[in-house]
Chain A
C-alpha cells in the first residue's frame, strides 16, 4: 500500500512566480516575443475606409468576382506597411502588430459596438474617438442594408429566428465568411506568375458556344488572375520598403537582413521559393492575402508545415545556408507573426459574450506523408521546441499520431503537454483518414489532410469544409419536455410533440425528441444553404480560390463548387449532458419510477429549489456517460447515431452534403447560459458538456473509463469529436508517467478516438489564478480546440475549466 506516500496534490508543475523558461530563445526572438505579448489589440479602420471608397466608386461597374478582386488589389496597393525592428518574416494584415481591420461588407460595427470594444474588460480592442467619428461618417452609412449579415437576416423564416434566439443553434456565417481550410504543398512548387499562366490557359479553353457558364467562369478566372497581381504587388511594396529602411539603417547586420528581406519579397510569392526562409515568407504572404481578402472562420493554416518545409530545410542545411538554430529562429519569427494577428471582433457584442483573441491557426505537426509513410522529421521536433519555448497564445499546434508514428515523437509531444499550456492537441491520423475516405475522398487527398482549426479535419488544399453553427442538443430535450415550448423565454419554438407526462414509455419520449431534432435540422439546413448562395453571389474569395484544387480547373470560386470536395458540418454540442439527462429519465422516471415526470419537471422549472435530495440522488445514482458503463454509453451511442442520421447526407448547394461534427469551442458555455436546469442535475444556466466530453464531474472512474466510453461512439461517421481531459500535474511528474500518458493516447486511438486534448493544472492553481491574476499572467489553458490565457477568459469560461473533472490516479 503506497498511496499515503504520494506527493501532495497541490504540487504543480506550474510556477506562478517564476517566468516561463525561454532560455532557448535568442535575443531577437526574446525581443519580438515580448513586443508581441505587450502589443495591445486595436482596431484599424484603414481596410474599411479603402474598401468603402472603392465600393462607392466601383460597385455596379464590374461583375462581382472582379469587383472583389479589384477591391483586394486596391487594399494591397494602398494599405500601410509595417516592417518591425528585428523582423525576418514580414507583413501585417493591419498597419501594425495586433491592429485588426474590420470587414464591413460582411458585418458592419455600429458606433456602439466600437465603443464597447474599446472599453470592455476582456478581449478589448482599442480605437480612438476620432477613428469612431470617421467610421461613423465614411463607413457605416454606405454599408447600411448592404452587408452579408443583413442579407441573411432579411431572408430567414420566423421559425428559424425563434430557434436561433432561443439558443437552439448558432449561425457561423452571420458574422464571418466561410473559411476552415488549410493549404497543401502546391504554393512551394509554383509561384503566382505560374498560377496566372494556368489561369490564362483555362480562360483560353472556355467553350462559349456549348457551356452556358463560360461567361461566369471567365469572370471568376479573370478575378483570380487579378488576385495574383494583388499579392505580388503587396510583396513588392514590402521589398521596396525594406530597401528604403536599409538605406537609413546604420547597423550593418540589419542592413544585410533588410536587403535579404527585399530580395525575398521580390521572389515570393511571384516565383516559387528556393530557400527555407523564402518558403516561410511565401506561406506568410498567402496567409495574409486570405485573411485580408475576407474574414473567414479560422485564420488559415499552412497544413503540414513540417512536411512542406522539409526539402528546403534539408537543402539549406546541406548547402550550409542555414543551421538548425537559424531554422528555429525563422520558425519562431513566423510563430510570433501569427500571434500578432488576433481574431477580428464580432458585432453586437457585450463584454460578457466576448470569447477569445485566438483565431485558430493550428500548425499540424507529424502525421503521415501522402504516400502513407511516417512523416515525422527533424522540423517536427523543432516545431515542438518552438511551441514550448515561445509559450504564446497563437498559433496553436497539434500533433498527428498514426500507428506508424515513432514513440519518441509522441513522448516528446506528451512532455510538451505536461507543461500544461494546453497544446499540442493530439489527433488520430488513422481515424481521420478513415473519416475522409468514408466521405468519398481519395486516399492520397485524405492523407494530405489534417486539422484546420479546432478538431475538424479536411483534405488540405482541396476542400471547402464549412462549419455552419453549433446545435444545442440538451436544449432540444428541454423543449421536448415542454411540448416544444422554451421554458426560458416562454416562447413556443418547436413542434407540439405532446406533454411530457403523456409519454408512457421512454421510447415515446425519445421519439418526440428525435422529431424535434429533425425539425430543427430542417430549418438549420435551409438557412445554411441560403447563406452559401449569398457568399457565392456577393463575396467570392477569389484569392483563396487560387490555392484550393480544383477552383482554377473548374473556373469556380471556393464558395461556389470550385473545390474538389464541398463539405458542410453542423456541430452538435452537449452529448454528455443530453446522454446523462436521458439516462435519468430512463432509469428514474420510466424504469425504477423513483420520481414521477411531474415531480421532475417541477424540480427543473424551479432549478431544483427545494429538490436538492432529488438532485443528489440523480447525481449519485444514475449511470452517466464517461464511466465505461454500457447503460449510459448505449444511450450516448444512440443519440450520436441519431444526430448522424438526422444530419448526414442532406445536400448542400455545392454538390456536397452535410455531415455531423462534434465540437463545441466555447459555445457550450453560451448554450448553458440559455438552457434551464436539465434532468441530469445540472443547474440552470451553467455550462453544458463540451464536445464529446463527459459532463463536468460525471466521470468518476478515471481517464481510462472516459476514453472507453468515447471509444464506443462510431467516431469515423463524424467529421471529428472533441475530448477534454484535465489531469493533475502530480499525475505526470515522472518520466514513466509521460510514457503512460502516451499509452493512454495510443489506447484511445486504437479504440477509434479522433482527438484528445489536455489541461495539466490543478484546481488550486486555477483558483489562485482567479484570486491573483497578476501572478498568473502566463497561465495558458486549453479551452476547446484552442488554448487561451486563463485571465483573458470571462468568469463563465473560467468556471467551466475549473468544473472539468480532475483526473487523478492512485
Chain B
C-alpha cells in the first residue's frame, strides 16, 4: 500500500514517448517554489477550491467535528478541529472539498498502467513515478519497478535523489531512466531554499554516473535563485566531471503556477517573499552558452 495524490495519463513531459505518471505523496525537500505542495506531506490533506463552492453547506452538515464554518462566499475550515476524515469531501457535490491522497495497492497501480499499454508501446513511452518523492515510499516503489520490468513496461523515476545511497542501490537496476533536478550547487543556499543540504544529492548523481544508470538532469531555472553565472558554472563543472556519456541538461524556466495550489491547501506560497521570476531570454541563452563551454548541451523545456 502506498499514498499517492494523482495519476496523469497522456503525460508527454516526463520522459520519452507517451507516459502515465504516478504522483507519490511525501517529500523530504521543502522547495519554496514547489508547485505541488499537496504532495509534500506523507499523509492525507484537505484541499478546498473556493471557485467551485456553490454554498450548499452539505459539507458542514456532514462534518462530525463541526470544523467547517460557513462564510458569505464559501467555507472555512477550523484546522484545530479538522481530523481530515474526508466526510465533507465525500458529500461535496462540486468537489470543492477534496482529499489529496489515495491509498493504492501495487495491483491498482499495475491495472492503471495496463490500461495505457497501447499508448506506451506505440510511442516508446512508459511509466513515470514522481511526487513528492517516490523514494520516500521506496518499498512500494521497488515492488512496482520489478513488476513493470516483468511486464515489459519501461520506467522512469523523477526524484530529488535525497535518499540514503543504499535505497538508491536497491532500486536502480530496475529503473530505465532517472529524472533528477539539480537545484543549486551551493549547499547552504540549497538548504535555504529547499530545506536540505545538497551533498547527498550530488553524491547520488555521481553514483548513477559511475554505475552507468541512464539519467537526465533538469534544472529549474529561477531568476533570483539559481541563474547567476557562478551557480551555472558550478553546475556545469560538476556535471562535466561525471563519467557520463549523455552530457545533456534540460532547462525548465520558472512559472509561478504553484501559487493557486497553496490557496487550496490553506498554506502560503513563498512566505518569506524571496524574489523569484521567470528568467529572461538572454539569461537562458547565456546559461546554454556556459553549459556548452563545458561540453554539455542544454535544451529548454521538458
Q: Which of B10, B14, B115 contacts A2 (CB 8 A)?
A: B14
Q: Which of B54, B118, B122, B254 contacts A5 (CB 8 A)?
A: B254
> When A616-B93, A809-B10 are in contact, do A734 and B301 touch as well, CB less than 8 Å?
yes
Instruction: Note all chain A residues with C-beta closer than 8 A to B12.
Output: 731, 736-737, 740, 809
Cβ contacts A615-637/B at 8 Å (1 or 0 each)? 11101110000001000000000
> When A613-B93, A620-B93, A747-B119 are in contact, do A5 and B302 touch as well, CB less than 8 Å?
yes
Complex contact B17–A4 (CB within 8 A): no
Q: Which residue of A lies closest to B299 (CB)?
A: A734
A240 to B221, CA, bound (A): 71
Question: Which of A3, A621, A703: most chain B CB closer than 10 A?
Answer: A3
> When A4-B255, A740-B123 are in contact, do A704 and B10 touch as well, CB less than 8 Å?
yes
Cβ contacts B74-97/A at 8 Å (1 or 0 each)? 000000000000000000011100
Instruction: Note all chain A residues with C-beta closer than 8 A to B9.
Output: 701-702, 704-705
Instruction: Note all chain A residues with C-beta closer than 8 A to B257.
Output: 3-4, 6
Q: Which of A1, A701, A734, A743 contacts B18 (CB 8 A)?
A: A743
Nearest CB in chain A: distance from B60 CB, A: 13
Instruction: Note all chain B residues with C-beta closer than 8 A to A613.
Output: 54, 56, 58, 93
Q: Which residue of B lies closest to A732 (CB)?
A: B12
Instruction: Note all chain A residues with C-beta closer than 8 A to B41.
Output: none
Complex contact A702–B10 (CB within 8 A): yes
Complex contact B181–A616 (CB within 8 A): no
Q: B130 within 8 Å of A by Cβ?
A: yes
Within B203-255, which residues are at the interface with A (CB < 8 Å)? 218, 220-221, 252-255
> When A2-B252, A733-B301, A743-B122 are in contact, do A708 and B115 touch as well, CB less than 8 Å?
yes
> When A5-B252, A733-B301 are in contact, do A704 and B119 touch as well, CB less than 8 Å?
yes
Q: Which of B123, B131, B252 contacts A743 (CB 8 A)?
A: B123
Within A683-716, which residues are at the interface with B (CB < 8 Å)? 701-705, 708
Instruction: Note all chain B residues with C-beta closer than 8 A to A1.
Output: 34-36, 39, 130-131, 158, 181
Instruction: Note all chain B residues with C-beta closer than 8 A to A737.
Output: 12
Instruction: Note all chain B residues with C-beta closer than 8 A to A810.
Output: 8, 11, 13-14, 21
Question: Which of A2, A8, A617, A807: most chain B CB closer than 10 A?
Answer: A2
Cβ contacts A732-755/B at 8 Å (1 or 0 each)? 011011011001101100110000
A739 to B93, CA, bound (A): 39
Complex contact A809–B13 (CB within 8 A): yes
Complex contact A620–B123 (CB within 8 A): no
> When A4-B256, A743-B123, A744-B10 are in contact, do A628 and B115 touch as well, CB less than 8 Å?
yes
Complex contact A5–B253 (CB within 8 A): yes
Q: B193 within 8 Å of A by Cβ?
A: no
Q: Which of A4, A7, A747 contacts B258 (CB 8 A)?
A: A4
Within A715-771, which residues are at the interface with B (CB < 8 Å)? 731, 733-734, 736-737, 739-740, 743-744, 746-747, 750-751
Q: A612 within 8 Å of B by Cβ?
A: yes
Complex contact A704–B116 (CB within 8 A): yes
Within B154-200, which residues are at the interface with A (CB < 8 Å)? 158, 179, 181
Q: A799 within 8 Å of B by Cβ?
A: no
Q: Which residue of A lies closest to B16 (CB)?
A: A736
Q: A309 within 8 Å of B by Cβ?
A: no
Q: A614 within 8 Å of B by Cβ?
A: yes
A615 to B256, CA, bound (A): 34
Question: Which of A7, A8, A743: most chain B CB closer than 10 A?
Answer: A743
Interface size on A, as a range, is: 35 or more
Q: Which of A614, A617, A807 contacts B10 (CB 8 A)?
A: A807
Complex contact B254–A617 (CB within 8 A): no
A343 to B302, CA, bound (A): 45
Q: Total interface residues on B, using CB and 8 Å?
A: 46
Instruction: Note all chain A residues with C-beta closer than 8 A to B131.
Output: 1
Nearest CB in chain A: distance from B63 CB, A: 16
> When A613-B58, A747-B122, A750-B122 are in contact, do A5 and B220 touch as well, CB less than 8 Å?
yes
Nearest CB in chain B: distance from A680 CB, A: 15
Within A423-452, which residues are at the interface with B (CB < 8 Å)? none
Q: Which residue of B lies closest to A615 (CB)?
A: B93
Q: B33 within 8 Å of A by Cβ?
A: yes
Nearest CB in chain A: distance from B147 CB, A: 20
Q: Which residue of A lies closest to B219 (CB)?
A: A5
Cβ contacts A416-428/B at 8 Å (1 or 0 each)? 0000000000000
Cβ contacts A1-19/B at 8 Å (1 or 0 each)? 1111111100000000000
Instruction: Note all chain B residues with C-beta closer than 8 A to A739.
Output: 123
Instruction: Note all chain B residues with C-beta closer than 8 A to A733.
Output: 301
Nearest CB in chain A: distance from B94 CB, A: 4
Question: Which of B13, B257, B301: most chain A CB closer than 10 A?
Answer: B13
Instruction: Note all chain A residues with C-beta closer than 8 A to B115.
Output: 628, 705, 708
Q: Which of B58, B119, B158 contacts A744 (CB 8 A)?
A: B119
Nearest CB in chain B: distance from A223 CB, A: 52
> When A733-B301, A743-B122 are in contact, do A2 and B58 touch as well, CB less than 8 Å?
no
Instruction: Note all chain B residues with C-beta closer than 8 A to A734.
Output: 301
A810 to B39, CA, bound (A): 15
Complex contact A7–B301 (CB within 8 A): yes
Nearest CB in chain B: distance from A769 CB, A: 24
Cβ contacts B107-124/A at 8 Å (1 or 0 each)? 000000001101100111
> When A1-B181, A612-B54, A746-B122 are in contact, do A702 and B13 touch as well, CB less than 8 Å?
no
Complex contact B118–A747 (CB within 8 A): yes
Question: Which of A5, A616, A703, A807: most chain B CB closer than 10 A?
Answer: A5
Nearest CB in chain A: distance from B132 CB, A: 8
A750 to B123, CA, bound (A): 13
Q: Which residues of A contact B (CB under 8 A)?
A: 1-8, 612-617, 619-621, 628, 701-705, 708, 731, 733-734, 736-737, 739-740, 743-744, 746-747, 750-751, 807, 809-810
Going nearest first, the 4 A-B pairs with the smallest beta carbon separation are A5-B252, A743-B123, A4-B35, A616-B93
What are 19 A-B pairs at a CB distance below 8 A? A2-B218, A3-B35, A4-B257, A5-B252, A5-B253, A6-B257, A7-B255, A7-B301, A616-B94, A620-B94, A628-B115, A702-B8, A702-B9, A703-B10, A705-B9, A705-B115, A743-B125, A744-B122, A809-B8
Knowing that A5-B302, A703-B10, A743-B123 touch, tell me 9 more A-B residue pairs with CB under 8 angstroms: A1-B36, A4-B255, A5-B253, A612-B54, A614-B93, A621-B93, A740-B12, A744-B123, A809-B8
